[in-house]
């Protein structure tokens, strides 16, 4: 079967305030009925994998039901979350519909997490989730991290922390001033490509995680078909977002 993948930014709302964030802002959520129309359009198009993201995807009204419908139709659901709403009850409710949960963490330092805008409790929260998942769930665990000026010198701590868990993959993004807040705060968060590559080398050497994946700006070009919270279908070409339709009414061409 040909893999057909979509990244669906189901909401632009978020309960963290990362100052390097390049998500689209201020797009109103669709209703659950409208999101179901999009989901059935994707199912009919033969989509095999959906990455559910945001903003914080778990804030979307009706997300649990969408995950259930998607899973029941054979789609692999990959949820990206900052973990703030992922208590044990919520994990028990949704993990059966998920192929993987991607948790976002950039640093084990509470001070740095506060500076980044993730909040002082972020590390402890992620640790609690990972400790629960380790013994109570078969869902694949993935990690997303952003390497930026604040985190580049303390990667050893994050490597050591993550080595305690059975992590399926770790995707490390270079800070990318693609849009919105990330553009405003570009000077504060930028790192050089050499610094970034050094960290990737270090991670590959010291981490127990087998699937290490790096991402820089050029990797985002035309690689992802995004569906935004209002249904708009977007690809990025030469650093510019291009609207190619709306998933409520148009076919999502993903071949």
Q: Which residues make up the interface to ligand SF4 (CB under 6 A)?
A: 14, 16-18, 21, 23, 54-56, 82, 104
Instruction: Compare residues 10 and 41 and give the one whose CB is closer to ligand SF4.
Output: 10
Q: How far is the CB of 227 from ligand SF4 (least distance, A)?
A: 16
**Residue 181 Cβ vs ligand SF4, minimum distance, rounded to whole Å:** 8
Taking the complex as a whole, the smallest distance from the CB of residue 119 to ligand SF4 amounts, in Å, to 10
Main-chain dihedrals φ then ψ at residue 170, nearest 5 degrees: -135, 115
* Nearest approach, Cβ of residue 250 and ligand SF4 (Å): 26
DSSP 180-203: HHHHHTHHHH---HHHHHHHHHHH
Please count the other Cβ atoms lying within 10 Å of the Cβ belonging to residue 247. 25
CB of 53 to ligand SF4, least distance (A): 8
If we measure between CA atoms, which residue out of 5, 68, 57 comes closest to residue 29? 57
Nearer to ligand SF4, 41 or 105 (CB): 105
Q: How far apart are CA 184 and CA 207, in angstroms?
A: 33
**Residue 55: CB minimum distance to ligand SF4, A:** 5
> Where are any strands of DSSP class E within 41-92?
49-53, 76-81
Whole-angstrom Cα distance, residue 130 to residue 111?
A: 21
Closer CB to ligand SF4, 23 or 41, in the complex? 23
* Smallest distance from ligand SF4 to CB 14, Å: 3
Of 29 and 56, which has the nearer Cβ to ligand SF4?
A: 56
Q: Which two tokens stand for residue 209?
A: 């995680």
Of 41 and 94, which CB lies nearer to ligand SF4 in the complex structure? 94
CA nearest neighbour of 105 among 134, 135, 142, 77: 142
- Are the C-beta atoms of 145 and 172 separated by less than 8 Å? yes
Confirm if 144 and 102 have CB atoms less than 8 A apart: yes
Instruction: Tell me whether residue 77 or residue 104 sits nearer to ligand SF4 (CB atom).
Output: 104
Nearer to ligand SF4, 36 or 179 (CB): 179
Non-local CB neighbours of 174 within 8 Å, separated by 6+ positions: 146, 147, 191, 193, 196, 214, 215, 216, 217
Instruction: Count the residues in the chain.
Output: 255
């Amino acid at each position: 079967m040909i893999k057909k993948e979509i990244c669906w930014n189901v909401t632009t709302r978020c309960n963290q305030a990362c100052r390097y964030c390049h998500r689209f802002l201020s797009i109103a959520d669709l209703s659950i009925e409208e999101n179901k129309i999009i989901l059935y359009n994707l199912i009919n198009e033969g989509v095999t994998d959906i990455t559910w993201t945001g903003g914080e995807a778990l804030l979307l009204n009706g997300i649990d039901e969408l995950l259930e419908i998607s899973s029941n139709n054979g789609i692999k659901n990959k949820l990206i979350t900052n973990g703030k709403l992922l208590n044990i009850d919520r994990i028990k409710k949704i993990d059966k519909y998920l192929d993987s949960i991607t948790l976002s963490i950039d640093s084990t330092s509470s001070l740095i997490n506060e500076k980044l805008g993730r909040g002082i409790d972020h590390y402890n929260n992620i640790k609690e989730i990972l400790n629960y998942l380790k013994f109570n769930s078969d869902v694949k665990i993935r990690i997303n991290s952003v390497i930026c000026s604040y985190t580049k010198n303390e990667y050893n701590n994050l490597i050591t922390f993550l080595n305690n868990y059975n992590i399926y993959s770790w995707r490390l993004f270079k800070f990318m001033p693609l849009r919105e807040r990330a553009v405003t705060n570009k000077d504060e968060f930028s790192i050089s490509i050499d610094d970034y590559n050094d960290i990737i080398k270090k991670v590959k050497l010291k981490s127990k995680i087998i699937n290490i994946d790096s991402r820089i700006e050029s990797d985002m070009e035309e690689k992802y078909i995004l569906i935004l919270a209002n249904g708009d279908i977007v690809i990025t070409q030469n650093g510019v977002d291009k609207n190619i339709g709306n998933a409520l009414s148009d076919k999502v061409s993903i071949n």
